[in-house]
Amino acid sequence: MRIQRKLTLLLLFFCSFSFAQNISGEKVFRTYCWGCHHQTSVAFGPSFQEIADARTKGEIQGYIVAPKSLYEQFGHKRSVMPSFEGKLSQEEINAITHFIYTYKSKKDN
């Protein structure tokens, strides 16, 4: 009985783990951002490396959902980036933010 309960818990653990892994930042990037942003080189928009070095995770998440209200504060003259509010789930936003941060080159903050 005890071992069965342990096995069930283990199974549940692995199921939820693989479910969480389904939302990949890389996939969100390839699907929604890649045409305009590249990882380390400037494309239509700034590179992820540049973004990760300059912004907090909160700022990045804010920009993804509301670029039109943040672009001036971020130093851009105009805003052509579309808002992803309602298009990406919070999990996808977390995943893409984490993905952007993997390109951070400055380790000081």
- Cβ contacts of residue 70 below 8 Å, gap of 6+? 59, 62, 63
- Pick from 43, 31, 54: which is nearest to 103 by CA? 54
- Contact between 52 and ligand HEC by CB under 6 A: the answer reads no
Structure tokens at 11: 């199974």
Distance CA 46, CA 71 (A): 13
Structure tokens at 23: 């939302």
The minimum distance between CB 20 and ligand HEC, in angstroms, equals 19
The minimum distance between CB 60 and ligand HEC, in angstroms, equals 4
> Per-residue string for binding with ligand HEC, 63-102, x by CB under 6 A?
xx--x---x--x-x--xxxx-x-----------x------
Note the residues at the interface with ligand HEC (CB under 6 A): 32-33, 35-37, 44-46, 51, 54-55, 60, 63-64, 67, 71, 74, 76, 79-82, 84, 96
